[in-house]
Amino acid sequence: MSGHSKWATIKHKKGAADAKRGKLFAKLIKQVEVAARTGGGDPDSNPTLRTMFQKARDNSVPLDTIERAVKRGTGELEGVNYETITYEGYAPGGIALLIECLTDNRNRTSGDIRSTLSKNGGSLAEPGAVSWQFERKGVVLVPTSVEEDDVMLVALDAGAEDIVDEGDMWRVTTPPSELPVVREALEDAGIAVESADLAMLPASTVEVADIGAVKQLMKLMDLLDDLDDVQDVHGNMDVADELLDEVSA
């Protein structure tokens, strides 16, 4: 089980009914804006924008709000110039963390992250200390109520690299640029997609088997995720489903 994708599943389910929807909207809009600034405002020629556009729509961000974010990104409307920064760190137990941020104030963001880590048993790491353990991929989650052969036939034909059983979800892994294509192929085949996003997947994982350690780790990741400038938190933890269910309950 990949620590990131299982955590993404939990966060996705939480987000659907979470009172923090306003903060989630703000993060998604920022992602759309930066994607448009980096690769242009046409989703057909900018797969990252296409992914972020769909991610925002999946979370019920209004279409006109997304379109304004695209225009801010392309310069048609005035907007803030956000900087992309990835911080590397460790959670308790030696869990490696990648913390992806979009910020207009590097000092504020680094201070917030350093403080959150240090107050919860973690620490910042030097650049390069953690990132080598991760690789950027597209991740599509499909319920395991769908037959594996059906998912595999469509996904691999559309450009997916791998399919992994994660309990209640199939994790379909794709090259980053092929994520929108694979998602669209699955949906066109009538296969429900739980979520589709870009992720940093770990090459190997560290097992966390103690319920107290799991609670501490999830608390830290939740606190980091709640920071305004943080867009995604990726970890290399491996936690049993029953422990995650107990914590998330």
Tens place of pLDDT per residue across the chain (249 aa): 344 445 444 444 444 455 567 788 889 999 999 999 999 999 999 999 999 999 999 988 999 999 999 999 999 988 888 899 999 999 998 999 999 999 999 999 999 999 999 999 999 999 999 999 999 999 999 999 999 999 999 999 999 999 998 878 899 999 999 999 999 999 999 999 998 999 899 998 898 888 999 899 989 998 998 898 999 999 999 888 788 778 776
Residue 138: enclosing H or E segment and its boundaries?
Answer: strand 134-143
**177 and 146 belong to one structural domain:** yes
Greatest Cα pair distance in the chain: 52
| Beta strands 206-207 and 237-238, pairing class | parallel
Query: Cα(first)–Cα(last) distance of the chain, in Å?
Result: 20
The domain tally of the chain equals 3
Which residue, among 195, 214, 187, has the nearest Cα to 92 in the 3D structure?
A: 214
Helix runs in the chain, H state only: 3-17, 21-39, 47-58, 63-74, 106-119, 148-158, 179-188, 211-226, 241-248
Q: Which residue has the tokens 């913390």?
A: 99
**189 and 209 belong to one structural domain:** no
**117 and 220 belong to one structural domain:** yes
**137 and 153 belong to one structural domain:** yes
How far from the centroid of its chain's Cα atoms is residue 56's Cα? Answer: 12
Chosen domain end from 181, 202, 223: 202
Q: Which residues face 229 on adjacent strands?
A: none
What is the reported pTM? 0.81
